[in-house]
Amino acid sequence: MKITELEPKQLWANFASLNEVPRPSKKEEKVIAFMVAFGKSLGLDTYQDETGNVIIKKPASAGMENRKTVVLQSHLDMVHQKNNDTVFDFSTEGIKMLVDGDWVRADGTTLGADNGIGVASIMAILQSKDIAHPAIEALFTIDEETGMTGAKGLKGGLLS
């Protein structure tokens, strides 16, 4: 079975796409560009703050405009560890994912599910056209694994 055949399909497709992008801590330039392009491809208000965090804002669906804004957050970087016998460069290579029975795992490296599955989930919510929702502000922070740089550098006033 392929990753993209798992349910919910959009979630796993997003996770697979995200894992194609190198995203080790302190070297998030490629995943930042990926997320900015993702938000803009949906026609959503998307920007990168001075720290490197990505913020994507989705307006409320019809009838939900008077509800409080929901903020969703996940971090873009991942723990980059590999098996001793694995040749892999986290700065240039995407994660090779496998379905192994009931498990999704990586081939010789960490999977990137912390917090890639959170990023993929938020991406699916932003893509959805059939979930009624208040305004959504998605915050994707950088360098959580080694310094909390994105969270610490977030300036007040960028989110509701």
Residue 69: which CATH number?
3.40.630.10
User: What percentage of the chain has pLDDT greater than the value 70?
Assistant: 100
Q: Is residue 159 part of a domain?
A: no
Q: Is the pLDDT of residue 46 over 90?
A: yes
Domain interval for residue 64: 3-153
What pLDDT was estimated at residue 1? 87
Residue 158 lies in a domain: no
Pairing of strands 45-48, 54-58: antiparallel
| Inside any domain, residue 55 | yes
Q: Which helix (H) or strand (E) holds 57?
A: strand 54-58
Residue 16 lies in a domain: yes
48 forms beta bridges with 54
Residue 139, domain member (yes or no):
yes
Mean pLDDT of the chain: 97
Please count the other Cβ atoms lying within 10 Å of the Cβ belonging to residue 79.
Answer: 17
Please give the backbone phi and psi of residue 24, each rounded to the nearest 5 degrees, phi first. Answer: -70, 155
In whole angstroms, what is the distance from residue 4 CA to residue 1 CA? 8
Query: What is the mean pLDDT of the segment spanning 141-157?
Result: 96
Is the residue at 67 inside a domain?
A: yes
Number of residues written out for the chain: 160
Q: Going by C-beta distance under 8 Å and a sequence separation of 6 or more, which residues neighbour residue 34? A: 17, 18, 21
pLDDT tens for residues 68-99?
Answer: 999 999 999 999 999 999 999 999 999 999 99
Q: Which amino acid would we find at residue 141? A: T
Residue 123 lies in a domain: yes
The pLDDT of residue 16 is above 90 = yes
Query: Is position 160 within any domain?
Result: no
Active-site residue numbers?
77, 144
What global pTM score does this model have?
0.96
Domain count of the fold of the chain: 1
